[in-house]
Protein backbone atom coordinates (compact mmCIF):
# COMPACT_ATOMS: atom_id res chain seq x y z
CA UNK A 1 0.00 0.00 0.00
CA UNK A 2 1.12 3.50 -0.79
CA UNK A 3 2.45 5.77 1.89
CA UNK A 4 -0.37 8.00 3.09
CA UNK A 5 1.64 11.18 3.02
CA UNK A 6 2.56 10.87 -0.65
CA UNK A 7 -0.90 9.75 -1.74
CA UNK A 8 -2.50 12.66 0.09
CA UNK A 9 0.04 14.91 -1.57
CA UNK A 10 -0.91 13.49 -4.97
CA UNK A 11 -4.57 13.93 -4.23
CA UNK A 12 -4.08 17.57 -3.33
CA UNK A 13 -2.03 18.12 -6.46
CA UNK A 14 -4.81 16.64 -8.53
CA UNK A 15 -7.46 18.74 -6.81
CA UNK A 16 -5.40 21.85 -7.47
CA UNK A 17 -4.87 20.88 -11.09
CA UNK A 18 -8.61 20.33 -11.60
CA UNK A 19 -9.42 23.62 -9.89
CA UNK A 20 -6.88 25.51 -12.00
CA UNK A 21 -8.16 24.01 -15.25
CA UNK A 22 -11.88 23.64 -14.65
CA UNK A 23 -12.98 26.43 -17.01
CA UNK A 24 -10.94 24.94 -19.87
CA UNK A 25 -12.28 21.42 -19.15
CA UNK A 26 -15.80 22.78 -19.46
CA UNK A 27 -15.06 24.84 -22.57
CA UNK A 28 -13.64 21.74 -24.30
CA UNK A 29 -16.69 19.67 -23.38
CA UNK A 30 -18.93 22.38 -24.85
CA UNK A 31 -16.91 22.17 -28.08
CA UNK A 32 -17.54 18.42 -28.19
CA UNK A 33 -21.24 18.97 -27.52
CA UNK A 34 -21.43 21.31 -30.53
CA UNK A 35 -20.76 18.35 -32.85
CA UNK A 36 -24.11 16.72 -33.74
CA UNK A 37 -22.84 13.12 -33.69
CA UNK A 38 -26.20 11.40 -34.17
CA UNK A 39 -25.41 7.81 -35.12
CA UNK A 40 -28.99 6.89 -36.07
CA UNK A 41 -29.26 9.49 -38.82
CA UNK A 42 -26.94 9.19 -41.84
CA UNK A 43 -27.31 12.94 -42.51
CA UNK A 44 -24.84 13.45 -39.68
CA UNK A 45 -22.20 11.00 -40.75
CA UNK A 46 -19.47 13.61 -41.17
CA UNK A 47 -20.25 14.97 -37.72
CA UNK A 48 -20.10 11.54 -36.10
CA UNK A 49 -16.61 11.15 -37.58
CA UNK A 50 -15.69 14.63 -36.42
CA UNK A 51 -16.58 13.66 -32.86
CA UNK A 52 -14.32 10.59 -33.14
CA UNK A 53 -11.43 12.78 -34.29
CA UNK A 54 -12.08 15.23 -31.45
CA UNK A 55 -12.00 12.45 -28.84
CA UNK A 56 -8.83 10.94 -30.32
CA UNK A 57 -7.11 14.30 -30.32
CA UNK A 58 -7.97 14.97 -26.68
CA UNK A 59 -6.92 11.52 -25.46
CA UNK A 60 -3.64 12.01 -27.28
CA UNK A 61 -2.92 15.46 -25.90
CA UNK A 62 -3.84 14.29 -22.40
CA UNK A 63 -0.81 12.00 -22.57
CA UNK A 64 -1.60 8.74 -24.36
CA UNK A 65 1.38 6.98 -25.90
CA UNK A 66 -0.73 5.35 -28.60
CA UNK A 67 -3.94 6.44 -30.31
CA UNK A 68 -5.82 5.11 -33.29
CA UNK A 69 -9.12 5.87 -34.92
CA UNK A 70 -10.09 2.32 -35.86
CA UNK A 71 -12.36 1.98 -38.87
CA UNK A 72 -15.23 -0.47 -38.73
CA UNK A 73 -18.05 -1.31 -41.12
CA UNK A 74 -19.86 1.60 -39.43
CA UNK A 75 -18.51 4.42 -37.29
CA UNK A 76 -14.93 4.27 -35.98
CA UNK A 77 -13.82 3.19 -32.55
CA UNK A 78 -11.29 5.42 -30.85
CA UNK A 79 -8.63 3.35 -29.16
CA UNK A 80 -5.90 4.88 -27.03
CA UNK A 81 -3.60 3.77 -24.25
CA UNK A 82 -0.94 4.73 -21.78
CA UNK A 83 1.14 1.80 -20.62
CA UNK A 84 3.38 2.78 -17.75
CA UNK A 85 4.46 -0.71 -16.72
CA UNK A 86 3.39 -4.04 -18.23
CA UNK A 87 3.42 -5.62 -14.77
CA UNK A 88 0.82 -3.21 -13.40
CA UNK A 89 -2.94 -3.69 -13.81
CA UNK A 90 -4.79 -2.14 -16.75
CA UNK A 91 -8.11 -0.31 -16.61
CA UNK A 92 -10.06 -0.27 -19.88
CA UNK A 93 -12.36 2.74 -20.10
CA UNK A 94 -15.36 2.34 -22.38
CA UNK A 95 -17.82 5.02 -23.46
CA UNK A 96 -19.58 6.40 -26.51
CA UNK A 97 -19.27 9.63 -28.45
CA UNK A 98 -22.47 9.14 -30.47
CA UNK A 99 -25.75 10.62 -29.28
CA UNK A 100 -29.47 10.06 -29.73
CA UNK A 101 -31.44 12.12 -32.26
CA UNK A 102 -32.52 15.45 -30.79
CA UNK A 103 -36.12 15.57 -31.94
CA UNK A 104 -38.71 16.75 -31.11
CA UNK A 105 -36.71 19.94 -31.63
CA UNK A 106 -39.53 22.32 -30.75
CA UNK A 107 -39.52 21.06 -27.16
CA UNK A 108 -35.96 22.22 -26.50
CA UNK A 109 -35.57 25.51 -24.63
CA UNK A 110 -32.24 26.07 -26.39
CA UNK A 111 -30.88 24.35 -29.52
CA UNK A 112 -29.57 20.84 -28.72
CA UNK A 113 -26.17 21.40 -30.32
CA UNK A 114 -25.61 24.91 -29.00
CA UNK A 115 -24.75 24.04 -25.40
CA UNK A 116 -25.58 26.53 -22.68
CA UNK A 117 -24.79 26.50 -18.97
CA UNK A 118 -27.85 27.48 -16.97
CA UNK A 119 -28.51 26.97 -13.24
CA UNK A 120 -25.23 25.07 -12.87
CA UNK A 121 -26.21 22.59 -15.59
CA UNK A 122 -24.97 22.02 -19.12
CA UNK A 123 -27.87 21.78 -21.57
CA UNK A 124 -27.18 19.89 -24.82
CA UNK A 125 -27.85 16.56 -26.49
CA UNK A 126 -25.19 14.21 -25.16
CA UNK A 127 -24.36 16.43 -22.16
CA UNK A 128 -24.87 13.44 -19.85
CA UNK A 129 -25.28 10.50 -22.28
CA UNK A 130 -22.44 10.05 -22.85
CA UNK A 131 -20.14 12.87 -23.96
CA UNK A 132 -20.09 14.62 -20.59
CA UNK A 133 -19.28 11.37 -18.82
CA UNK A 134 -16.68 10.27 -21.39
CA UNK A 135 -15.03 13.66 -21.14
CA UNK A 136 -14.65 13.27 -17.35
CA UNK A 137 -12.44 10.25 -18.06
CA UNK A 138 -10.28 12.12 -20.55
CA UNK A 139 -9.81 15.00 -18.12
CA UNK A 140 -9.21 12.65 -15.17
CA UNK A 141 -6.52 10.98 -17.30
CA UNK A 142 -5.02 14.35 -18.17
CA UNK A 143 -5.05 15.26 -14.47
CA UNK A 144 -3.29 12.03 -13.46
CA UNK A 145 -0.69 12.48 -16.21
CA UNK A 146 -0.05 16.12 -15.45
CA UNK A 147 0.44 15.49 -11.72
CA UNK A 148 2.45 12.30 -12.14
CA UNK A 149 -0.24 10.29 -10.43
CA UNK A 150 -1.31 7.64 -12.93
CA UNK A 151 -0.93 4.50 -10.79
CA UNK A 152 -1.55 1.82 -13.46
CA UNK A 153 -2.07 1.34 -17.18
CA UNK A 154 -5.09 2.74 -18.95
CA UNK A 155 -6.75 1.95 -22.26
CA UNK A 156 -9.60 3.85 -23.87
CA UNK A 157 -12.18 2.40 -26.20
CA UNK A 158 -14.75 5.03 -27.15
CA UNK A 159 -17.26 3.99 -29.78
CA UNK A 160 -19.72 5.76 -32.05
CA UNK A 161 -22.58 3.27 -32.37
CA UNK A 162 -23.77 2.63 -28.82
CA UNK A 163 -27.09 4.34 -29.41
CA UNK A 164 -27.78 2.11 -32.41
CA UNK A 165 -26.85 -1.23 -30.90
CA UNK A 166 -23.02 -1.44 -31.04
CA UNK A 167 -23.11 -3.98 -33.88
CA UNK A 168 -19.58 -3.30 -35.09
CA UNK A 169 -18.09 -3.06 -31.62
CA UNK A 170 -18.75 -6.78 -31.14
CA UNK A 171 -16.75 -7.56 -34.28
CA UNK A 172 -13.99 -5.18 -33.17
CA UNK A 173 -13.74 -6.76 -29.72
CA UNK A 174 -13.56 -10.28 -31.16
CA UNK A 175 -10.84 -9.24 -33.62
CA UNK A 176 -8.75 -7.20 -31.13
CA UNK A 177 -8.58 -9.33 -28.01
CA UNK A 178 -4.83 -8.90 -27.73
CA UNK A 179 -4.96 -5.13 -27.86
CA UNK A 180 -7.85 -5.02 -25.40
CA UNK A 181 -6.09 -7.06 -22.74
CA UNK A 182 -7.00 -5.49 -19.41
CA UNK A 183 -7.99 -6.32 -15.85
CA UNK A 184 -11.25 -4.45 -15.55
CA UNK A 185 -13.65 -2.34 -17.60
CA UNK A 186 -14.69 1.04 -16.24
CA UNK A 187 -17.77 2.77 -17.65
CA UNK A 188 -19.46 6.04 -16.75
CA UNK A 189 -22.75 5.89 -18.62
CA UNK A 190 -25.27 5.40 -15.80
CA UNK A 191 -26.73 7.44 -12.95
CA UNK A 192 -26.48 7.99 -9.20
CA UNK A 193 -29.59 8.28 -7.01
CA UNK A 194 -29.01 11.94 -6.13
CA UNK A 195 -26.07 14.28 -5.73
CA UNK A 196 -26.10 13.62 -2.00
CA UNK A 197 -26.91 9.90 -2.38
CA UNK A 198 -24.11 8.31 -4.42
CA UNK A 199 -24.77 4.88 -5.88
CA UNK A 200 -23.19 2.35 -8.19
CA UNK A 201 -25.17 0.49 -10.82
CA UNK A 202 -24.76 -3.24 -10.40
CA UNK A 203 -27.14 -4.34 -13.11
CA UNK A 204 -28.33 -3.48 -16.58
CA UNK A 205 -31.33 -4.80 -18.43
CA UNK A 206 -31.08 -6.58 -21.74
CA UNK A 207 -33.01 -5.54 -24.80
CA UNK A 208 -34.95 -6.96 -27.67
CA UNK A 209 -36.08 -4.30 -30.13
CA UNK A 210 -38.23 -4.92 -33.17
CA UNK A 211 -40.51 -3.34 -35.69
CA UNK A 212 -43.91 -4.72 -36.68
CA UNK A 213 -45.99 -3.98 -39.73
CA UNK A 214 -49.62 -4.87 -40.30
CA UNK A 215 -50.88 -4.81 -43.89
CA UNK A 216 -54.51 -4.92 -44.89
CA UNK A 217 -55.71 -4.01 -48.37
CA UNK A 218 -53.30 -3.46 -51.23
CA UNK A 219 -53.96 0.33 -51.19
CA UNK A 220 -55.41 3.04 -48.98
CA UNK A 221 -59.21 3.00 -49.09
CA UNK A 222 -62.01 5.53 -48.70
CA UNK A 223 -63.10 5.07 -45.07
CA UNK A 224 -66.75 5.54 -45.99
CA UNK A 225 -66.81 3.28 -49.00
CA UNK A 226 -64.83 0.41 -47.40
CA UNK A 227 -64.84 1.23 -43.66
CA UNK A 228 -66.52 -1.48 -41.58
CA UNK A 229 -66.09 -4.14 -44.25
CA UNK A 230 -62.30 -4.43 -44.55
CA UNK A 231 -59.72 -4.77 -41.78
CA UNK A 232 -58.22 -1.46 -40.72
CA UNK A 233 -54.53 -2.18 -39.97
CA UNK A 234 -54.36 0.59 -37.36
CA UNK A 235 -57.38 -0.77 -35.47
CA UNK A 236 -55.97 -4.28 -35.72
CA UNK A 237 -52.46 -3.27 -34.64
CA UNK A 238 -53.82 -1.30 -31.66
CA UNK A 239 -55.82 -4.28 -30.50
CA UNK A 240 -52.90 -6.67 -30.96
CA UNK A 241 -50.63 -4.38 -28.96
CA UNK A 242 -53.22 -3.93 -26.23
CA UNK A 243 -53.49 -7.70 -25.86
CA UNK A 244 -49.78 -7.99 -25.01
CA UNK A 245 -50.50 -6.98 -21.37
CA UNK A 246 -53.20 -8.41 -19.12
CA UNK A 247 -55.18 -6.52 -16.46
CA UNK A 248 -52.26 -6.90 -14.02
CA UNK A 249 -49.85 -5.51 -16.57
CA UNK A 250 -48.19 -8.86 -16.98
CA UNK A 251 -46.90 -9.60 -20.45
CA UNK A 252 -49.09 -12.21 -22.14
CA UNK A 253 -46.58 -13.77 -24.51
CA UNK A 254 -46.51 -17.48 -23.58
CA UNK A 255 -43.35 -18.58 -21.70
CA UNK A 256 -42.07 -14.96 -21.67
CA UNK A 257 -41.25 -15.12 -17.94
CA UNK A 258 -39.84 -18.66 -17.93
CA UNK A 259 -36.19 -17.63 -17.64
CA UNK A 260 -36.72 -14.65 -15.33
CA UNK A 261 -34.71 -14.90 -12.12
CA UNK A 262 -36.92 -13.79 -9.24
CA UNK A 263 -35.18 -11.89 -6.45
CA UNK A 264 -35.09 -13.61 -3.08
CA UNK A 265 -37.21 -12.04 -0.32
CA UNK A 266 -33.97 -10.79 1.26
CA UNK A 267 -32.88 -9.14 -2.00
CA UNK A 268 -36.28 -7.52 -2.40
CA UNK A 269 -36.11 -6.31 1.17
CA UNK A 270 -32.69 -4.78 0.51
CA UNK A 271 -34.04 -3.11 -2.59
CA UNK A 272 -36.96 -1.68 -0.65
CA UNK A 273 -34.38 0.04 1.58
CA UNK A 274 -32.86 1.89 -1.38
CA UNK A 275 -33.65 5.60 -1.02
CA UNK A 276 -36.50 6.40 -3.38
CA UNK A 277 -38.97 9.26 -3.17
CA UNK A 278 -42.14 8.30 -5.04
CA UNK A 279 -43.70 11.74 -4.60
CA UNK A 280 -40.64 13.48 -6.04
CA UNK A 281 -40.57 10.95 -8.87
CA UNK A 282 -44.19 11.71 -9.80
CA UNK A 283 -43.65 15.42 -9.45
CA UNK A 284 -40.57 15.37 -11.70
CA UNK A 285 -42.63 13.64 -14.40
CA UNK A 286 -45.84 15.60 -13.76
CA UNK A 287 -47.89 12.40 -13.41
CA UNK A 288 -50.60 11.78 -10.84
CA UNK A 289 -49.80 8.11 -10.44
CA UNK A 290 -47.37 5.41 -11.49
CA UNK A 291 -48.44 2.37 -13.44
CA UNK A 292 -46.85 -1.01 -13.93
CA UNK A 293 -46.81 -4.70 -13.16
CA UNK A 294 -48.96 -5.69 -10.19
CA UNK A 295 -47.07 -6.93 -7.15
CA UNK A 296 -43.87 -4.95 -7.73
CA UNK A 297 -42.62 -1.58 -6.53
CA UNK A 298 -41.72 1.24 -8.90
CA UNK A 299 -38.01 0.60 -8.38
CA UNK A 300 -38.51 -3.09 -9.12
CA UNK A 301 -40.62 -2.40 -12.19
CA UNK A 302 -37.89 -0.17 -13.55
CA UNK A 303 -34.96 -2.50 -12.98
CA UNK A 304 -35.46 -6.15 -12.10
CA UNK A 305 -38.63 -6.85 -14.08
CA UNK A 306 -38.90 -7.28 -17.85
CA UNK A 307 -41.05 -4.88 -19.85
CA UNK A 308 -42.71 -4.48 -23.22
CA UNK A 309 -43.26 -0.98 -24.61
CA UNK A 310 -44.29 0.65 -27.86
CA UNK A 311 -41.63 3.27 -28.73
CA UNK A 312 -43.32 4.59 -31.84
CA UNK A 313 -46.47 3.92 -33.82
CA UNK A 314 -47.63 5.23 -37.15
CA UNK A 315 -49.90 4.78 -40.13
CA UNK A 316 -52.70 6.58 -41.95
CA UNK A 317 -53.18 10.30 -42.14
CA UNK A 318 -51.45 12.54 -39.61
CA UNK A 319 -51.33 15.82 -41.57
CA UNK A 320 -53.38 18.91 -40.89
CA UNK A 321 -57.17 18.63 -40.90
CA UNK A 322 -59.02 15.43 -41.66
CA UNK A 323 -58.60 12.95 -44.47
CA UNK A 324 -61.03 10.07 -44.55
CA UNK A 325 -58.83 7.11 -45.20
CA UNK A 326 -58.50 3.49 -44.24
CA UNK A 327 -54.77 2.92 -44.49
CA UNK A 328 -53.17 -0.04 -46.16
CA UNK A 329 -50.48 -0.36 -43.47
CA UNK A 330 -49.76 0.36 -39.83
CA UNK A 331 -46.46 -0.04 -37.98
CA UNK A 332 -44.92 0.14 -34.53
CA UNK A 333 -41.51 -0.08 -32.92
CA UNK A 334 -41.51 -2.24 -29.83
CA UNK A 335 -38.85 -2.74 -27.17
CA UNK A 336 -38.66 -5.37 -24.50
CA UNK A 337 -36.28 -4.82 -21.57
CA UNK A 338 -34.94 -8.10 -20.31
CA UNK A 339 -33.59 -9.32 -16.99
CA UNK A 340 -31.38 -12.25 -16.02
CA UNK A 341 -31.55 -14.96 -17.41
CA UNK A 342 -33.70 -13.97 -20.38
CA UNK A 343 -31.94 -14.13 -23.73
CA UNK A 344 -32.46 -11.51 -26.36
CA UNK A 345 -32.65 -13.86 -29.37
CA UNK A 346 -34.98 -16.22 -27.61
CA UNK A 347 -37.34 -13.41 -26.58
CA UNK A 348 -37.29 -11.94 -30.09
CA UNK A 349 -38.36 -15.32 -31.42
CA UNK A 350 -41.09 -15.74 -28.80
CA UNK A 351 -42.47 -12.33 -29.61
CA UNK A 352 -42.38 -12.96 -33.36
CA UNK A 353 -44.22 -16.28 -33.09
CA UNK A 354 -46.82 -14.88 -30.73
CA UNK A 355 -47.44 -11.73 -32.75
CA UNK A 356 -47.93 -13.77 -35.91
CA UNK A 357 -50.24 -16.14 -34.05
CA UNK A 358 -52.59 -13.41 -32.81
CA UNK A 359 -52.96 -11.75 -36.23
CA UNK A 360 -56.60 -11.98 -37.34
CA UNK A 361 -57.67 -13.04 -40.83
CA UNK A 362 -57.71 -10.15 -43.28
CA UNK A 363 -54.25 -8.79 -42.48
CA UNK A 364 -50.67 -9.96 -42.81
CA UNK A 365 -48.07 -9.24 -40.16
CA UNK A 366 -44.34 -8.90 -40.53
CA UNK A 367 -41.92 -8.63 -37.62
CA UNK A 368 -38.44 -7.29 -38.23
CA UNK A 369 -35.86 -7.56 -35.44
CA UNK A 370 -33.58 -4.58 -34.80
CA UNK A 371 -30.81 -4.86 -32.23
CA UNK A 372 -30.64 -6.69 -28.97
CA UNK A 373 -28.47 -7.07 -25.94
CA UNK A 374 -28.13 -9.28 -22.89
CA UNK A 375 -28.84 -8.31 -19.28
CA UNK A 376 -25.96 -8.07 -16.83
CA UNK A 377 -25.40 -8.12 -13.09
CA UNK A 378 -22.05 -7.21 -11.52
CA UNK A 379 -20.74 -8.61 -8.25
CA UNK A 380 -20.46 -6.29 -5.23
CA UNK A 381 -17.76 -8.32 -3.50
CA UNK A 382 -15.09 -7.81 -6.16
CA UNK A 383 -12.00 -5.67 -5.81
CA UNK A 384 -13.17 -3.38 -8.61
CA UNK A 385 -16.51 -2.78 -6.90
CA UNK A 386 -14.73 -2.05 -3.64
CA UNK A 387 -12.34 0.35 -5.39
CA UNK A 388 -15.28 2.26 -6.89
CA UNK A 389 -17.02 2.23 -3.52
CA UNK A 390 -13.97 3.64 -1.75
CA UNK A 391 -13.42 6.26 -4.45
CA UNK A 392 -17.01 7.50 -4.25
CA UNK A 393 -17.10 7.35 -0.49
CA UNK A 394 -14.06 9.61 -0.41
CA UNK A 395 -15.25 12.12 -3.00
CA UNK A 396 -18.92 12.28 -1.95
CA UNK A 397 -18.27 11.82 1.77
CA UNK A 398 -20.85 9.04 1.80
CA UNK A 399 -20.71 5.34 0.99
CA UNK A 400 -22.46 4.61 -2.34
CA UNK A 401 -25.43 2.23 -2.43
CA UNK A 402 -25.60 -0.54 -5.03
CA UNK A 403 -28.56 -0.12 -7.40
CA UNK A 404 -29.98 -2.07 -10.33
CA UNK A 405 -30.34 0.11 -13.44
CA UNK A 406 -33.10 -0.16 -15.97
CA UNK A 407 -31.23 0.84 -19.12
CA UNK A 408 -29.07 -1.28 -21.38
CA UNK A 409 -25.42 -1.19 -22.41
CA UNK A 410 -25.30 -4.34 -24.53
CA UNK A 411 -21.53 -4.40 -24.82
CA UNK A 412 -21.10 -5.08 -21.09
CA UNK A 413 -22.28 -8.70 -21.34
CA UNK A 414 -20.16 -9.09 -24.45
CA UNK A 415 -17.02 -7.84 -22.68
CA UNK A 416 -17.48 -10.58 -20.15
CA UNK A 417 -18.12 -13.23 -22.79
CA UNK A 418 -15.33 -12.25 -25.19
CA UNK A 419 -12.68 -10.80 -22.88
CA UNK A 420 -13.62 -12.47 -19.61
CA UNK A 421 -13.68 -9.04 -17.98
CA UNK A 422 -15.94 -7.63 -15.30
CA UNK A 423 -17.29 -4.10 -15.57
CA UNK A 424 -17.70 -1.37 -12.99
CA UNK A 425 -20.56 0.99 -13.82
CA UNK A 426 -19.40 4.14 -12.06
CA UNK A 427 -21.78 6.67 -13.58
CA UNK A 428 -22.43 10.22 -12.38
CA UNK A 429 -25.67 11.21 -14.14
CA UNK A 430 -29.10 11.64 -12.59
CA UNK A 431 -32.31 10.00 -13.82
CA UNK A 432 -33.70 13.54 -14.06
CA UNK A 433 -31.01 14.58 -16.58
CA UNK A 434 -33.51 13.91 -19.40
CA UNK A 435 -31.25 11.65 -21.47
CA UNK A 436 -32.81 10.72 -24.86
CA UNK A 437 -35.26 13.56 -24.23
CA UNK A 438 -35.50 17.28 -25.01
CA UNK A 439 -33.44 19.53 -22.70
CA UNK A 440 -30.94 16.83 -21.79
CA UNK A 441 -28.55 18.26 -19.24
CA UNK A 442 -25.65 17.39 -16.97
CA UNK A 443 -24.78 19.07 -13.70
CA UNK A 444 -21.48 20.88 -13.37
CA UNK A 445 -21.31 19.28 -9.92
CA UNK A 446 -21.56 15.85 -11.54
CA UNK A 447 -19.01 16.62 -14.25
CA UNK A 448 -16.40 17.83 -11.77
CA UNK A 449 -17.24 15.17 -9.19
CA UNK A 450 -16.57 12.56 -11.85
CA UNK A 451 -13.19 14.07 -12.72
CA UNK A 452 -12.30 14.04 -9.03
CA UNK A 453 -13.54 10.49 -8.36
CA UNK A 454 -12.05 8.65 -11.35
CA UNK A 455 -8.40 9.10 -10.25
CA UNK A 456 -9.41 7.79 -6.82
CA UNK A 457 -10.81 4.67 -8.48
CA UNK A 458 -7.48 4.20 -10.30
CA UNK A 459 -5.59 4.66 -7.06
CA UNK A 460 -7.64 2.20 -5.02
CA UNK A 461 -7.85 -0.32 -7.83
CA UNK A 462 -4.08 -0.22 -8.42
CA UNK A 463 -3.47 -0.63 -4.69
CA UNK A 464 -5.73 -3.66 -4.35
N1 LIG B 1 -26.40 5.26 -21.16
C2 LIG B 1 -27.51 4.56 -21.66
C3 LIG B 1 -27.92 3.36 -20.83
C4 LIG B 1 -28.31 3.63 -19.41
C5 LIG B 1 -28.90 4.81 -19.00
C6 LIG B 1 -28.09 2.66 -18.48
C7 LIG B 1 -29.25 5.01 -17.70
C8 LIG B 1 -28.46 2.83 -17.16
C9 LIG B 1 -29.04 4.04 -16.76
C10 LIG B 1 -27.19 4.09 -23.07
O11 LIG B 1 -26.60 5.10 -23.86
C12 LIG B 1 -28.47 3.74 -23.79
O13 LIG B 1 -29.27 4.60 -23.99
N14 LIG B 1 -28.61 2.48 -24.19
C15 LIG B 1 -29.71 2.07 -24.99
C16 LIG B 1 -29.44 0.72 -25.59
C17 LIG B 1 -29.12 0.72 -27.03
C18 LIG B 1 -29.03 -0.68 -27.57
C19 LIG B 1 -29.88 1.63 -27.91
C20 LIG B 1 -30.95 1.93 -24.17
O21 LIG B 1 -30.88 1.57 -22.97
O22 LIG B 1 -32.02 2.18 -24.72
MN1 LIG C 1 -25.09 6.03 -22.89
MN1 LIG D 1 -28.24 6.47 -24.52
What is the chain's mean pLDDT, rounded?
Answer: 96
| pTM for this prediction | 0.93
Which residue among 162, 191, 403 is best mutated to probe the pocket of ligand 1, counting the most ligand atoms within 8 A of its Cβ? 162
Residue 165's pLDDT band (boundaries 50, 70, 90)? confident
CATH number for domain 206-260+306-373, candidates 3.40.50.2020, 3.30.470.10, 3.20.20.140, 3.30.70.360: 3.30.70.360
Strand partners, 207: 337, 373
Among protein residues, the one with the nearest Cα to ligand 1's atom 19 is: 163
Confidence band for 1, pLDDT divided at 50, 70 and 90: very low
CB-ligand 1 contact for 126 (6 Å cutoff): no
Domain ranges of the chain: 4-204+375-463, 206-260+306-373
Q: How confident is the model at residue 263 (pLDDT cuts 50, 70, 90)?
A: very high
For ligand 1, is residue 333 a contact (CB within 6 Å)? no
E strands along 248-388, which residues?
307-315, 325-326, 329-338, 364-373, 376-377
Q: Quick one: pLDDT at residue 2?
A: 44
Rounded to an integer, the average pLDDT of 199-213 is: 97
Mutate-to-test residue for ligand 1 from 37, 74, 210, 409, highest number of ligand atoms within 8 A of CB: 409
> Residues 126, 447: contact at Cβ < 8 Å?
no
Expressed in angstroms and rounded, the spacing between residue 292 Cα and the centre of ligand 2 is 25
In this predicted structure, the answer to whether residue 41 has a pLDDT above a threshold of 70 is yes
Indicate whether residue 410 lines ligand 1 (CB < 6 A): yes
Does residue 95 have its Cβ closer than 6 Å to ligand 1?
no
Write out the residues surrounding ion ligand 2, Cβ under 5 A: 129-130, 189
Cβ of 407 below 6 Å from ligand 1: yes
- What tens digit of pLDDT does each residue of 408-446 get? 999 999 999 999 999 999 999 999 999 999 999 999 999
User: pLDDT tens for residues 63-97?
Assistant: 999 999 999 999 999 999 999 999 999 999 999 99
Give yes or no for residue 371 CB within 6 A of ligand 1: yes
pLDDT in tens, 120-153: 999 999 999 999 999 999 999 999 999 999 999 9
The whole-number average pLDDT for the span 98-126 is: 98
Cα-to-centroid distance, 435 and ligand 2 (Å): 8
Atom 16 in ligand 1: residue holding the nearest Cα: 408
Q: What are phi and psi of 330, to 5 degrees?
A: -140, 145
Q: Which atom of ligand 1 is nearest to the CA of 371?
A: 18
* Average pLDDT of span 441-460: 98
User: Is the predicted pLDDT of residue 3 greater than 90, yes or no?
Assistant: no
The C-alpha atoms of residue 421 and residue 169 are separated, in whole angstroms, by: 16
Question: Would you tell me how many other CB atoms lie within 10 Å of the CB of residue 224?
Answer: 10
pLDDT tens-digit map of 298-323: 999 999 999 999 999 999 999 999 99
Q: What is the pLDDT of residue 4?
A: 47
Ligand 1 centroid to Cα of residue 409, in Å, is: 5
| Any atom of ligand 1 within 6 Å of the Cβ of 331 | no
Which long-range CB contacts under 8 A does 11-17 form with residues at least 24 apart? Answer: 11/455, 11/456, 11/459, 13/147, 13/149, 14/143, 14/144, 14/147, 14/149, 14/452, 14/455, 15/452, 17/143, 17/146, 17/147
Report which bound ligand comes closest to the CA of 204.
Answer: 1
Query: In terms of residues, how long is the chain?
Result: 464
Question: Which atom of ligand 1 lies nearest, measured to the CA of 410?
Answer: 18
Q: Which atom of ligand 1 is nearest to the CA of 405?
A: 8
Residue 374 CB less than 6 A away from ligand 1: no
Q: What pLDDT score does 265 carry?
A: 96
DSSP assignment letter at 72: -
CA distances (Å), origin 5, targets 2, 12, 140, 387, 462: 9, 11, 21, 20, 17
Stronger pLDDT, 329 or 8, i.e. the higher one: 329
Average the pLDDT over 206-233 and give the result.
98
pLDDT digits (tens, 9 = 90+) for 351-377: 999 999 999 999 999 999 998 999 999
- Kindly tell me if the per-residue pLDDT of 331 is higher than 90: yes
Which atom of ligand 1 is nearest the CA belonging to 373? Answer: 18
Task: Pick the residue whose CA is nearest to atom 18 on ligand 1.
Answer: 165
Cβ contact 7:459 at 8 Å = yes
The residues, any chain, with a CB within 8 Å of residue 346's CB and separated by 6 or more, are 259
User: Which residues are near ligand 3, the ion (C-beta closer than 5 Å)?
Assistant: 129
Whether the per-residue pLDDT at 167 is higher than 90: the answer is no
Ligand 3 centroid to residue 383 C-alpha, Å: 28
State the pLDDT at residue 9.
75
Neighbour-count burial of 104, counting CB atoms closer than 10 A to its CB (0-12 exposed, 13-18 middle, 19+ buried) = exposed
Percentage of the chain beyond pLDDT 90 is: 97
- What is the percent of the chain where pLDDT is above 70? 98
Tell which CATH architecture fits domain 4-204+375-463.
Answer: 3-Layer(aba) Sandwich (3.40)
Contact 199, 192 (CB under 8 A): yes
Does the pLDDT at position 184 exceed 90? Answer: yes
Protein residue with least CA distance to atom 20, ligand 1? 408
Ligand 1 lined by 162 (C-beta under 6 Å): yes
pLDDT for residue 6:
66
Task: Say if residues 315 and 330 touch (Cβ distance below 8 Å).
Answer: yes
408 lines ligand 1 (CB under 6 A): yes
Amino acid sequence: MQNNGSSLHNHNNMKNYIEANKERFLAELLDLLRIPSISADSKYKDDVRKAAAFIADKIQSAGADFIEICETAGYPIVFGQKIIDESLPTVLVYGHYDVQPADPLNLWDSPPFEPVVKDEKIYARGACDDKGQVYMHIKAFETMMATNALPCNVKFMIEGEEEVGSDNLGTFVKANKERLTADVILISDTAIIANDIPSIDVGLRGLSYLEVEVTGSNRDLHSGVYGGAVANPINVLSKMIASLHDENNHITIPTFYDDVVELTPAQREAMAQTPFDLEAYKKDLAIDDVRGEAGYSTLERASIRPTLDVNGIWGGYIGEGAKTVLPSKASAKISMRLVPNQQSDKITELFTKHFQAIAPAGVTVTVRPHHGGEPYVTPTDSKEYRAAEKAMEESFGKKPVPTRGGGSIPIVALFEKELGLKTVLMGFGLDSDAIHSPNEHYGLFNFYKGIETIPLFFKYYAES
